[in-house]
Structures are given as C-alpha cells and as structure tokens.
Structure 1
C-alpha cells in the first residue's frame, strides 16, 4: 500500500567553501603596504612639498617624522588593544583612520595641516600593524602553510618598500605631491572590504592595558623628537629646547620608576635578559636608523644637490632599493646553512663598509658609484630584516612571540624616528649638500657597524656556545 505521505527528499547541503589563501593574504597585506609606502614615497616627494607648500627643512622633517612618532609610540598600546577588543576590529579601525588621514593629507593647504594629518596617519598605522600579523597567524593555523604565507607577506611588503620611491617619483611628476596620499584611498577601500568579507575574527583576551605607562612613553618620545627636529632652527640652548630636555628626563625617570613597581608593564623587560632578544632589538634600532635615515637623505640629496626631478630621483633610487625583495628570497635559501647571528654580523658589516665608501662623496662622484655603494648596503638590508626577526623569535620562544614582535617593531620605528631626525639635523646644519650627505653616510656607516658588533656579541657568540654545548 502506498504511503499516505509523499517521500521527502532533502537537497544536499552545500559545503562551506574555504576562503582562498590569496584573498586572505591580500586583505592582510594592504595595511602593511600602505604603512610602508607612506614612509618611502614621501622621501621622493619631499623637495616638491617644500616648493609647493613653502615648507622649511624642519617642517619637512616633521612631515616625515611626525608619522613615525605616533606610529612608534602607539604600537605597544595598539597590540594590547587588539588583544582586548579584537584584532579584526582594531585592524579595520586603523584602516579607517588611515584612510581619513590620507585624504586630509592630500587636501592639506599648508604645512601645519599636513603635519597634523601625518600624526593621525601614524596612529592609524599603529592600530593595524600589530593586528595584521595576529590575523595572519590566526588565518593560517597549519605551520607549513603559515610559514609560506609569512614569506609571501614579507615579500609583498619588501617589494612595496623597494618600489616605493620609484612609484612616488612617478606619481609626483605626473599628478602632483597630493597623489601619493590619494593612492592610499583605493588600497584602503579594497583592504577594508576584503578584511570584513574574508578574515575571521580572533578571540579576544582580557588584557589589562598599562595606559599611564604608555602615555608616559608617548610624552618621552614626543619630547625627544621635538628637541632633535627643532634644535637646528631654534638653537640648542633655546628655552623651548631646555623645556623639552626637562620633559624628556622627567618622563624617562617616571617611566623607569613605574616599570619597576607596576604589575602591567609597557615593555617585557625580563626578556631583555636573553642576549639574543636584546641583540635583535639593538640591531633593529640601529638598522632602521641607518636604512630610513639614509633613504630620507638620499631623496633630498638627489634633487637638491644633483638637480634630479622627482621622477628621475625615483628612477635613480630604484637600483638601490630593488634589492630588498631579492635579498629576502636569498635569505630563505641560505638561512638553513648559516646561523642568524652569523648572517646578521656579516651583512651589517657589509652594509657599514659600503656606506663608509661614500663619506668622500662630492659633485664629481659618478652616479653609478653612489648606486653601487647604496645598493650593496641594501643587499645587506634585505638579509638583515628577516634575520633579526628570526633571531628574535628564537630568543623569545613561541609563548612570547607576539609581544616580542611588538617590541621589535616599536624599537625599529624609534630607530627610524631618530635616524630621520638626525639626518635632518645634519642637513640643516650645513649649507653644502655634499658635505651634509658625506656626514650622513658616516652616521649611517657607524650605525651599521655598531649593529654588526652587537649582532656578533649578543647573537652569534651565544649561538656558537649553544652549538658547542649541544655537541
């Protein structure tokens, strides 16, 4: 007898499709690309900004360093905020802040507005940078795939850094200095949409933020930056500079006392007892001092001393910067054969001696000599960057990897901040661009060589002792 009820058939439930890795990595790389581009492209646009907005060299230094100041001072706080509120949410907030600030930069009618917008840009970058790495690690839980994606992510960032000056020079020549900031708008929209659409949120953690300590840290960096940048213009004994010295000293003392007594610290000071961790952070500071300080100086030198247009300066910088992504690939091939300490020592010394050859730079120095010297130094830079990150992770261990990465990034940005400010001091103090460039190259060489010494004593030698003990 047939059933009273017709048979019910169920359509097969479609399987949930996994988001392609390419979409995830694109979403998470956009923030890093914007943050990197906005450090490098402004160096080529600097001379044009000076001309169009009638800025002084001191104001131009603030335009470049103001971004790095808020970036460096807020990185540690932003990392804690991402743990507490959620990495995806903070990443999107940071992208939105960066988007609005970029539009304000492009519309800035005067140097003061541009400096203020750059400060806000740096705050946006500080929000999304730590979250970018956290989301990437969470999005690729399988170790082999995560390692592959981290390599791809690093290559994208390195390529954008290497091409940044050339792209900036082309855009400034074709569309004006404002275009380097307008470029962030479509990138930001794509990044925000793809992150919202394809990136899963990360579970939050009840992290208590050391807000008083972070505020003291910000005051300290701001006072030091003011003293370094305004010193050449106001005079090193001016009242405003004396006040900055007092504020910096008071903030440093307050932070020291607080960190000794507080439960929730700004910095994980105990990790610095490990020589590898301390060494990686010393290398990070000196490396960024040299790399970003020299890039800031070169963009201005090629245009002011050698008469290059922004586009020509961008093209002339390309042979010097294109080695970043190439050397990153080389590192992945040789890192299994040599220890990180040995690689860091060798390539920091290589970069130092290459920079040292330029302390005699003059109007008669051929361009190709400059390109080869800086290019060789930047081959070293492409090895140093992943090498010090690997050394840091080895020293900190997996349980401290996230906080260790935030400390290294903060240290590196402080190095950039001080390096750019010091180059500004040198260039402001000398009327001859070739003399200024020579002195800048000397400072860059010393930073690289000191980094090589630190890498040898704190990373390479302990590695050798550990290897001998293991045998």
Structure 2
C-alpha cells in the first residue's frame, strides 16, 4: 500500500492559519482523499484483473502493464513532483494532481481496449505523483499545534491503511455488481469532494523558485521505463529478442548517464550522500524489498484465487479481506510497542515472520484449504503492518530532522520501484510457469526470499547501527 508516512520535499514559506470556519475534520478529509484514491487504485485493480483480461481480451503482459504503468509513472515522477510543490505551491500542485487523476480515472472507465486503458493508467500515475508529495506537507501546515497535528497524522494514516486493506473487498464487490469500470468511477465522487474541500478550506503556502534537476529526472524515467519493458515483455518476446536487446541498451546507457550526471551536477535527483549512513541505506533496502514482496504477492493472489480456485471477483475480494485487514490493525499495534523496542529489532523480527509465513506456501495448489492460505498470508501481513511504519521511523531517525522530508520522498520512490519490480516479477514467474498449480508456489518462494533478505538487511544495517548508537550514548 502507499506509504502513509513523511514523503515530501519541505514546503517553503509560512502558511497562514486555516480559516476559522474550517473544522479539523473537513481539513483532514480534504487532504486524505488523494491518498485514499491512490491506495484504493493500487489494491482494487488486482481483483479486477481477471475481468479486465476477459472483457478486453488482454494477455498477461498487457494486464501487467495495466497494473504497472501507473506505478511506473508514479515512481518516476515522485521526486520531481516534490520540487514542483516548492516551486509552484503545494496547494496548486495538489489540486492539479487531483484534477489529472480525475480525468484519467474517467478515461480508464471509458477505455475500449487494453492499449487505451494502459494510456489512461499512465496519466493516473502522473496525477498521483503530483498530489501525493504535497498531501502530507499541507496536512502538517494545516495543523500547526503539535498535539493536534500528531492526532490528525494518526487519523490520516489510519484512513489510508484502512483504504488499502479494504481495497480488494471493495473492488470485488464493485466488479461483481457493476463491472470492472466501476473501480475507476469510484474515484470521481471522491476526487470532486477532495478538490472542493481543498479549494475551500486549505490555505496556500508561499512559493520560492527551486531549480529542478530536469535532465536527471528524464534519465531516471527512461531507465525505469526500459527496466519495466524488459521485465514485462521478456517472457512474451523472448529474453534475447531484438526489442529486448534495445531495452537492455537503453537501460544501461540511461543509468550510466544518470550516474555521470549525478556525480557532477549541483542539483541532484536524489540525496546520494545520505546513503552513506547505514541505517538510511538499510531503510531504503527494506522499503524496496518489502513493496516488491507485498504488492507482488497481492497481484498474484488475486489472479490465483480467480484462475486456480475459480472464485468470482466478489468472492475473491471477500477471501482477501482476512488477509489484508491486518494492515491498519498492525499499524495501531506498532504505535503501542514502538516505544519499547527499537525499529531495527521490530523490522528484523517481523520481516522474518513475513518471510517464513510466505515460504510455508511454496507447496500451495488449488487444493490447499482456504484457511491455511488465509492464516499464512494474514500472518505475513501482520508483519507488513508493523514493517511499514517501522522502516519510515528508522529512516527519519537516520536522516535527521534537517533531511526528514526529502528522505521520506526517497523512501516512497524506492518503495514504488519495489512495487513496479514486484508486480513485473510475478508476471514473469506466472508466465514462465506451466500452469496455475506451479506458478503461485514459485511466486511465494520469491516473496519469501525477498522478505528474508530484507530481514538480513534490517539486522545488519539498522539494528546494529541503533545498538552502536545506544552504546555510545551510554558510554
């Protein structure tokens, strides 16, 4: 699910106090709607995948593009959008993003074929990239009093986590009752409410010209697009096909030019110096692998339930609910236990739990009892609900107060790239597998290994770093 933690480039200038008539609930609603749409859009489409394949006659690579095209643009533009919020004003960029997302959602609902649906999903990614970096900053500036701000941030995070957890069930209900187009139509009233409330109750902040690293961002986008093409189209075209060789070449050239550019330029795409801090690097490693495993498994599970077990979209959504409802509940648990245990220890333990639980499903088949699947995936997702806020807290601690917002942007971009790779990797595995008996089992193996590698990274880079700092503090 999209991160509900700090992920913005800091706004410049001081915000005027909100209008007196604006209640806290209305301001919170205005700034949560964007995140709710983005959270729902990532999860509901998984349940709609089978219906989209059938009605649009889409292949598995096309379905993967339908899911991943949104994540590709979102992850590519996220860092750039943070700079735009500084340059053009966070409220303006937030509203523009909402408007683009609204139009793109309508385009998705009206798409007559897979190609146009992919194009509309790309536009949705542009909208999400614009409004998400501004959402949290506007929320922070809208609630200047610390105690109230903390309470509103907690409510905001809970709303986002609940939306992501209920997404598959909502999607299944909508697809069964009204067709797959309804999952995009759902965004329209939410978007209208969000834009109207934002225009009425959210005060604009001052802007200050900020030089944007446009050449670097272009290279970043090209490299990610080439990587996505290679992962998604490889099984269909063949890994040695001419088109694939071109994609490999574009990826290598764009990545190389980006490295050269970042070594020489003054304004960077990413604050690379922060990666010299082990805990910062560890939090980003965990973020990438965590999203790869979580969203890759959710993409695969929705298809598995419908193709291998014969569930309808509605039934698949209901079957996923016991597995995903743990996200917001575990977020609450984290807030209770985070003061007693270090983030490094929590991340290590719960990543191990998620990894082991996922590996227990490497023998899954269409005959596996549902309760066994629900317990294993639910246990992994309990871990996920602890891991998500834990890695963000570890990142903030490592970056320091002066880098909190930009560090959060880096983490969220890294996580979205993990989502992109995870969904594409599941498509590769399912495409290479001989049937729906073998494919999901292999996917669970990939997911389990990703969680375990993340656990090792959390222990070596985060937990040990926290232990060293604690020892120095008490010396």
TM over 0.5: yes
Q: Which residue of 1 aligns with 2:24?
A: 21
Q: Deviation at 1:139?
A: 1.1
C-alpha separation in 2, matches of 1:237 and 1:87: 45
Partner of 1:429: 432
2:163 partner SS? helix
Is the partner of 2:437 in helix, strand or coil?
Answer: helix
Give the aligned partner of residue 115 of structure 2.
Answer: 112
Structure 1 runs of 4+ off > 4 angstroms?
none
Change in CA separation of 1:16 and 1:138 when aligned onto 2, cut-off 3 Å: closer
Task: Find out whether 1:68 has 2:68 as its counterpart.
Answer: no
User: d(CA) in 2 for partners of 1:434 and 1:295?
Assistant: 17
2:153 equivalent in structure 1: 150
Superposed displacement of residue 216, structure 1: 0.3
Alpha-carbon distance in 2 for matches of 1:270, 1:285: 19
Alignment of 1:452 with 2:445, yes or no, is: no
Mapped to 1, the partners of 2:270 and 2:450 lie a distance apart of 24
The answer to whether residue 172 in structure 2 is matched with residue 169 in structure 1 is yes
2:469 matched to which residue of 1? 466
Q: Aligned match of 1:231 in 234, 238, 241?
A: 234
Q: Which residue of 1 aligns with 2:206?
A: 203
User: Which protein shows a greater Rg?
Assistant: 1
Cα contact 2:32–2:159 (8 A) shared by 1:
yes
Distance 1:136 1:17 in 2: 16
* 1:259 and 2:254 are equivalent in the alignment: no
Worse-superposed segment, 287-296 or 399-408: 399-408
Corresponding position of 2:319: 316
* 2:260 is aligned with 1:248: no
For 1:452 and 1:202, locate their aligned partners in 2 and report how far apart those are by CA, in whole Å: 40
The alignment status of 1:341 with 2:344, answered yes or no, reads yes
> Is the deviation greater in 459-468 or in 158-167?
459-468
- Cα separation, 1, equivalents of 2:19 and 2:431: 60
Give the number of equivalent residue pairs.
Answer: 457
1:216 maps to 219
Q: Work out whether 1:58 is the aligned partner of 2:65.
A: no
Secondary structure of the corresponding residue to residue 203 of structure 1: coil
- Give how far 1:25 is off: 1.0
Equivalent of residue 159 in structure 1, options 152, 162, 167: 162
TM-score after normalising by structure 2: 0.95
Q: Which residue of 2 aligns with 1:411?
A: 414
Instruction: Report Cα offsets for 1:200-224 as digits up to 9, x if no partner.
Output: 1122122110000000000000000
For residues 435 and 29 of structure 1, the distance between their equivalents in structure 2, rounded to whole angstroms, comes to 40
Q: 2:19 touches 2:201 (CA, 8 Å); kept in 1? A: no
Whole-Å separation in 1 of the counterparts to 2:341 and 2:208: 38
Q: 1:371 aligns with which of 374, 382, 387?
A: 374
Match of 1:383 among 383, 386, 402: 386
* Counterpart Cα distance in 2 of 1:378 and 1:149: 25
**1:338-380 CA distances to partner (integer Å, 9 max, x unpaired)?**
1111111110110000001000112321010000000000000
> Structure 1: how far apart are the matches of 2:447 and 2:163?
23
C-alpha distance in 1 between matches for 2:38 and 2:349: 29
Q: Return the alpha-carbon distance in structure 2 between the equivalents of residues 407 and 204 of structure 1.
A: 22
For residues 12-49 of structure 1, give each alpha carbon's deviation from its aligned partner in whole angstroms, at most 9, with x where no partner exists: xxx96252211111111100010111110000000000
Q: Which runs of 5 or more residues in structure 1 are unaligned?
A: 1-14
Cα distance change on mapping 1:16 and 1:205 into 2, 3 Å: closer
Once the two structures are TM-superposed, the CA of residue 227 in structure 1 deviates from its matched residue by 0.4
Q: Which moved more, 1:133-142 or 1:419-428?
A: 133-142
Deviations 1:25-78 (A, max 9, x none): 111110001011111000000000000000000000000000000000000000
Q: 2:423 aligns with which of 401, 420, 425?
A: 420
Alpha-carbon spacing, 1:214–1:436, altered in 2? closer, same or farther (3 Å): same
Distance 2:231 2:300 in 1: 16
Instruction: Give the structure 2 partner of residue 124 of structure 1.
Output: 127
Q: Which residue of 1 aligns with 2:330?
A: 327
Alignment of 1:25-36 (within 5 A): 25-36=28-39
CA distance in structure 1 between the aligned counterparts of 2:341 and 2:21, rounded to whole angstroms: 37
Q: Distance in 2 between matches of 1:403 and 1:194?
A: 27
Deviations 1:81-100 (A, max 9, x none): 00110000000000000000
Gaps of 5+ in 2: 1-17
- 1:143 is displaced (CA, Å) by 2.3
Tell me how far apart the structure 2 counterparts of residues 275 and 300 of structure 1 sit (CA, whole Å): 38
Matched residues in 2 for 1:134 and 1:210: separation?
Answer: 21
Structure 2 Cα separation of the partners of residues 381 and 204 of structure 1: 37
Root-mean-square deviation (Å): 1.0
